[in-house]
Amino acid sequence: MVLAWIVALPAAVSAVWLEARVADTDRYVATVGPLADDPDVVAALSELSTSTARDQVADLLGPDIADLAGGLVADSVAAVVASPQFRPVWEAANRSAHEQTIAVLQSDAPVEGGADVTLDFGAILADTMTSLGPLPTADLPPLTVSFTVLPASTVDTVRDDYRRLDTLARVLPLVAAGLVVAALVISPLRTRTVRSLAVGGVLGAALVWLAVVRARSRLTDAAAPENRALVDAVVTSTTGSLLTVAAVLAAVSAAVAVLTLFVGRRT
């Protein structure tokens, strides 16, 4: 039963955390909002914007003009991301993408037109540049700068996973609590059982930590090379609170385990 507890606990913690932190748009935006000041995010977005602008202008006006435009856009984007207006831009883009993603996952309808859900900065950056005053990109075509959040080809799979997660977030905490109660009721040596459960809590927290580290690596490696810095920053920020939960769980469990040693000696 203790082994079942060790398996159920990290699964329950992860499922509840994902449901509460990642699936909630306001909490998600509050989590990723500070990344607007992250150097890796700023550098990744600036580089992608410049590269995208150069490619777009090259198609319209030729490579020579594209080289000049790329430099002008780089200067303008640098001014945008360094300004106070960029934080609302970043949060608005993330909020829009998150709301679209959750709407798609909660719906049975196919993605309209088979289009990907993207984190789009093009139009927003253009508006921000305009609000900053005269900049050297005023005569350039509108930028199309976006990161794919949910490819249309993966919607069905991700939707099924999301629904399983929603079910697990409701069921697994009850399972974990039931295992604790059952173990304490059945065991004739409750102090030892509490100690075993506490050690299981430490191991469960370690499993959560290992799962987060592995997930970070897989998500970052799966991203396009030019987007990896941005993806890594977002994933690291988003999962940071889960690592904190795992650390607290490990500390509390370890304290309980140590306490049972003293209680066992006195009894």
pLDDT at residue 136 in the model: 52
Residues 6+ apart with CB under 8 A from 110: 155
pLDDT at residue 53 in the model: 66
Residues 6+ apart with CB under 8 A from 225: none
pTM of the model: 0.71
pLDDT at residue 251 in the model: 93
pLDDT at residue 267 in the model: 47
Collapsing DSSP to helix, strand or coil, 187 comes out as coil
Backbone angles phi, psi at 229, to 5 degrees: -65, -40
Q: Which of 150, 260, 254, 243 has the alpha carbon at shortest distance from 203?
A: 254
What is the distance between the alpha carbons of residues 240 and 160, in angstroms, rounded to a whole number?
25
pLDDT tens per residue, range 96-118: 888 888 887 777 766 555 566 77
For residue 259, what pLDDT band results from cuts at 50, 70 and 90? confident
Report which of residues 4 and 150 the model is more confident about: 4
pLDDT tens per residue, range 191-236: 888 888 888 888 888 988 888 888 888 777 767 776 777 778 888 8
Residues 6+ apart with CB under 8 A from 160: none
